Chains A and B, each alone.
Chain A
Amino acid sequence: MGALQAVACAIFFGPLASLVVLGLVGFTPLRSRERLIKRVVATGQSAAFVSGVALAVVMVRRYLASGSLEPIDIFHYHFFSFNHHVVEIGLRLDLLNIWFVLMATTLSNIVGVFSQHYLHRDPGFYRFFFLIVLFLNGVLIVFLASSFQALFIGWELVGITSALLISFFTVRRETIDNALHAFWAYRVCDVGLLCGAALLAAHLPADQFALGAGLPRALPGELAYLVPFLFLFSAMGKSAQYPYSSWLPRAMEGPTSSSAIFYGGLSIHAGVYLLLRLRLQYEVPTAMLVATAAVGAISCVYGVLLSQVQSDVKSALAYASLSQVGIMFVEISLGWYYVATIHCIGHAFLRTYQILKCSSIIHQFVAFEDAHQFDAERAKAKFLPLLLPAGALSRGFSIAFDLALRAASGRSLLVMSLERLSRRLQEGEERWISFISGSGRGGGRGGEGS
């Protein structure tokens, strides 16, 4: 087991090591050395990828040979305990999350290479890669966690890096607004996971994720309803399901490569993984399944409809992403775990690719029109407009357009109130500082003489 565990450790500690090195580099003038940053990032990411692939091969062979597989513990750590409550943090690999880990490391490697070229000479080169590696660590914690308490840590890292990368270009105010919008959506929904994980820690301490025999376990009476719904709530936020969808298109403010890995690849699917884990681990009430399916179905229709009326490519892809994630929610509620996993991984690759190359859409259309110069009408013909009466079509467009506008228009009230709150805090702080420095406001502060 020793060797296997060592390899498994590389998956997590590789990226962690590059994060630490990057963090240290950040304090030195070396942070402007692109080649150094590239090396550090690539080393950690490829270590994770290579060991992930190796482990996957070994695990699958073992599973095929024996028909079952013990999870591989990466580490297990007694975090703290008070009264009778124990909080333990652990990471472990099993036959479910190895696929997600493979997906995460593959995508982060590819997007890493992409970004090396894409962000070359950008003043935020270091910041970008620091955040991307931090994000990868977060995602790996989410996927590798052995309990919901550990998962929460990764969940938060994913959220904060997401918001910071949306606001990567601080020149425009809208960028900051939209990052705040996404951050707000995350924070609200994170409450679900936090409460759920705390409840579980209180009632089922040391209950680790596992697959197979004896699962899913029944939750103790009072938690049976509460925890699954809390988790669903949290998953909806992270995966931008209706009605928490409006942040997703707004999140397309960062560099294309971070948009791709977050909202095409990994972050958007974190909710799917959470629900998969939940269903494999604990029994959930039918009502929650119905609710999951309903949320998924509504989001799916909503996303498809809005995606069809978007006239900019990134919004269109964002809405398309959330519609597919909606289908995954339905699949999970139906118990189609294999389908959901394959769907999730396939979708992540496809969508990441699409977002990465979304700038080529103009020339793709030009090529299409060139190819169909003699049958342009036929090539562009659409079925839907032929089937529906004109009135219905314009009505449909109106509704979809209004929905899109609702998501786009203005600043959300919550962002505004958040801002008001922070302004109050800032004023308070200023008052406090002028109080402790013992001087009034204004020019007098520098008056100590020489």
Chain B
Amino acid sequence: MGFLEGLWLLIWTVIKVMLIIVPLLLSVAYLTYAERKVIGAIQVRKGPNRVGYAGLLQPIADVFKLLTKEVLVPTNSHRFLFVIAPILSLAPAFAAWAVIPFSDTMVLADVNAGLLYVLALTSLGVYGVIIAGWASNSKYAFLGAMRSAAQIVAYEIAMGFALVGVVMVGGSLNLGDIVRAQEGNLFHWFWLPLFPLFIVYFISGVAETNRAPFDVAEGESEIVAGFHVDYSGMAFALFFLAEYANMIMIAALAVIMFLGGWLSPIPFIPDGIGWFFAKTGFMLLFFLWFRATFPRYRYDQIMRLGWKVFIPVTIVWLTVVAAAILLEIEPWFALRAA
């Protein structure tokens, strides 16, 4: 490869990265708007409705507010770790998007071990939380970090097991191939044969992103705001961005692995990227719905659900899946390995 060719590849890759990151940031901004509107509707309120038509400019106003606020660094904090903690929580949330296939051909990096890569990167997000809690040198922040670390470790196991089921049925670690293995109609998608794993995966995803009803890491009635209590302005906004980017990530992964990605549910309408976005939006609605519906779990109940309910359920269902693959029950289970 010549120098110019290499340079062109670099520029082209950066352009493609920008084509993913910029819409992602916009989605995060409007997800906060959607959240306030949806919760408003559920609680029979209007939600944001003053800035712009129907409050549509509210996220932009929020961004400006956060940008102009002062970033405070507490006196006895560990300065370096305090500053890099938000970056450490944001970077994996964005980097994981590299392997997400948006449609049959639209994927930044079509790597073989895509699913493993996503799992590895989502497991790194916890460092931002732990380091933030420790570096703040505050009891509330520290308690939040401890809670978050224990919770994420617990639910990651259930999540990983759920994904093992997907890999077994899909016969590949490549996210694009997993979607292609679901071709057919609505009932060929993996949500049906892997229904318990789908439920476990999605609830673990909610727990992993520290969203209500699993948001004990923030728990504003108990530990003020948890790990980000000492952060303000842009540093706080980065944590916020990471949380919402992770939510979209979990929803997109659920769509790819259980709901057929870009595949169309109706036979005569063609497949396409639109279906991917529509399904992701549908899954995101559940995050908002959960938040408006359920009271916060007590901490020991969270641990019980993760260790004593989800992990046994996934292990039992993995055995069922393995037996079904050996019996080659059509149309879902077949020996697909190379």
Partners in one complex: no
Chain A residues close to B by CB (< 8 Å)? none
Interface on B for A, CB 8 Å cutoff? none
